[in-house]
Amino acid sequence: MMGAHARIGIDLGGTKISGIALGPDSKVLAQARVDAPKGNYSETIDSVCGLVMSLEERASVEASVGIGIPGSVSPATGNIQNANSTWLNTQPFKQDLETSLKRQVRLANDANCFALSEAMDGAGQGAASVFGVILGTGCGGGLVVNGRIIDGPRGIGGEWGHNPLPWPEANETPGPQCWCGKKGCMETWVSGPAMAADHKRVFSETLSAHDIARNAGEGCAKVNKTLESHASRLARGLACVINIFDPERVVLGGGLSNMSHLYEQLPGLIAPYIFSDNTAIDILSPVHGAESGVRGAAWLWDIAESENSEWK
């Protein structure tokens, strides 16, 4: 499914705002990146609008605009919720952008944009159902079926990061404190900072997630044990989602998706927990990597309706 018009996708990150302009044939016409104004709502609006204008000027097109945000639009109020860029929360961001840009815009959670990008023309292309997983500073996810993001009346479809670790072992309960107020959420076990915290808790040794990942397979017993625990927990968490959503493919994204051992080990670790005689599961690395956010945001105008429209 290729769009017949030019599309701009914006990825609103905590430190950078990235943008891409895609032509009708999905060719990249222009790309740009600006610093994200920290803690300032009206400057954030101005930066996004400035980026859209500059991309349109450079690509010589008038485009539809889709925006990936680190939170979601509350279907109840139309305002932003759950954003770790906290100055966006409770703001009518969509409405304010539409006023400034003088056109309709579509917003979606950044993990949903990732899942959509990979489902449309990435590692999930051709599959009817895709679970896109973000493993970075946090743990998010998005569900796509037949090219459409699945979301619901709460705007949290695919958000598995604040469910508890399933099938816990004795030393895994109640689990680490999560910022959301609960203990033992998936995010407190499988994100990058969570893996580093686990290493420190078990071995009293301070290594960043990047250091741990870089030393995978290098023969350090402590690092290997931390990676083994991490893969086991990730496998159990994914099995729980697979037993509910039964996706054709799972695509990993975010910083930890660079750890190649995950693609070799996860299918075997997940299999014992899958409630079916078919326990095979494809766990794939992303095709578009860091560009998935902007690409997925651009794709928001290629799906028939915005994800929440039937609920409004």
Q: Indicate the Cα dihedral angle 40, 91, 300, 252, nearest 10°.
A: 70
The reply on whether position 185 binds Zn ion by CB under 5 A is: yes
- In this chain, which stretch among 45-53, 71-79, 172-180, 255-263 interacts with Zn ion, using CB under 5 A? 172-180
Nearer to Zn ion, 51 or 195 (CB): 195
Which stretch in 54-62, 115-123, 185-193, 194-202 sits in contact with Zn ion by CB under 5 A? Answer: 185-193
**φ and ψ of 187, to 5 deg:** -60, -30
| Amino acid sitting at position 13 | G
In the complex, what is the shortest distance from the CB of residue 178 to Zn ion, in angstroms, rounded to a whole number?
Answer: 3
**To the nearest whole angstrom, how small is the minimum distance from the Cβ of residue 88 to Zn ion?**
19
59, two tokens: 């690509």
Residue 163: other Cβ atoms inside 10 A: 16
Pick from 53, 76, 128, 180: which binds Zn ion (CB under 5 A)? 180
Q: What is the rounded CA–CA span in Å between residue 246 and residue 242? A: 5
Compose the 140-159 pattern: x for residues touching Zn ion by CB under 5 A, - for all others. --------------------
Compute φ and ψ for 243, nearest 5 degrees.
-65, -20
Q: How far apart are CA 242 and CA 232, in angstroms?
A: 15
Residues that bind Zn ion (rule: CB under 5 A) add up to a total of: 5
Q: Counting contacts by CB under 5 A, is residue 113 touching Zn ion?
A: no
249 within 8 A of 241, measured Cβ to Cβ: no
Q: Which stretch binds Zn ion (CB under 5 A): 22-30, 52-60, 143-151, 183-191?
A: 183-191
Q: Which two structure tokens, joined as six digits, stand for 136? A: 């970075």
Residue 177 pairs in a beta bridge with: 183
Which residue from 143, 178, 223, 270 is in contact with Zn ion, where contact means CB under 5 A?
Answer: 178
Stretch that binds Zn ion, among 122-130, 142-150, 171-179, 280-288 (CB under 5 A): 171-179
Asked if residue 194 binds Zn ion (CB under 5 A), the reply is no
Q: How many CB atoms lie within 10 A of CB 23?
A: 17
Q: Which of 162, 230, 249, 288 binds Zn ion (CB under 5 A)?
A: 162
> Interface with Zn ion by CB under 5 A: which residues?
162, 178, 180, 182, 185
